[in-house]
């Protein structure tokens, strides 16, 4: 293993640890970080197992989770029976767009809950405030996503 390979491996483990601390499954964090750090953003199960020194079963479990949460997809390698696991294009944009949809659903349910609990009760006020917080996040997220899109378009124009 070269010095650069060791540095990449340390980065993968460090970023995986941060994602694990934020609540993601440990092995899924490691597999995701390895895909992120790979040159092409895609690796086979055997490549992931070798890079991370884990079993094929551990790769399979992590890929199952990452596929379920739409962070990676499975693609067949042309002319083989092997699958490649690929990061989605604009992964974070798509992830936060889905989170924004969740915020909207949560806000709706919380508003209904606040009505059921009653606006004059402590539980009703707490629930209504939580709904307001999610509405605020939803509104802010839309602006953030618009600014991100504009920034990416500006970078593309600058490099053309």
Whether residue 91 has pLDDT greater than 80: no
Crossing angle of helices 26-37/56-68, nearest 10°? Answer: 90
The mean pLDDT of the chain is 89
Mean predicted confidence (pLDDT) in 23-50: 94
Of 66-70, 111-115, 156-160, minimum mean pLDDT range? 156-160
Of 40-49, 60-69, 84-93, minimum mean pLDDT range? 84-93
Beta-strand runs (E) in 56-103: 72-76, 83-87
Whether residue 3 has pLDDT greater than 70: no
Mean predicted confidence (pLDDT) in 3-11: 89
Whether residue 100 has pLDDT greater than 80: no
Q: Give the pair of three-digit tokens for residue 79.
A: 């002319």
From residue 72, give the alpha-carbon distance in Å to each of 20, 30, 60, 123. Answer: 17, 13, 12, 40
Mean predicted confidence (pLDDT) in 99-127: 91
Mean predicted confidence (pLDDT) in 121-135: 94
Of 4-8, 128-132, 140-144, minimum mean pLDDT range? 140-144
């Amino acid at each position: 293993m070269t010095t650069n390979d060791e540095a990449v491996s340390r980065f993968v483990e460090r970023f995986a640890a941060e994602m694990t601390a934020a609540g993601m499954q440990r092995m899924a964090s490691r597999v995701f970080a390895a895909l992120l750090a790979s040159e092409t953003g895609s690796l086979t199960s055997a490549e992931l197992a070798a890079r991370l020194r884990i079993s094929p079963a551990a790769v399979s479990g992590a890929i199952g989770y990452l596929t379920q949460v739409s962070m990676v997809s499975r693609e067949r390698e042309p002319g083989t029976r092997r699958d490649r696991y690929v990061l989605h294009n604009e992964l974070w944009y798509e992830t936060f767009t889905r989170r924004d949809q969740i915020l909207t659903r949560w806000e709706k349910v919380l508003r209904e809950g606040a009505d059921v609990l009653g606006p004059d009760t402590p539980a009703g006020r707490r629930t209504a405030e939580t709904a307001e917080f999610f509405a605020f996040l939803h509104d802010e997220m839309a602006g953030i996503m618009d600014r991100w899109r504009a920034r990416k378009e500006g970078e593309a124009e600058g490099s053309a």
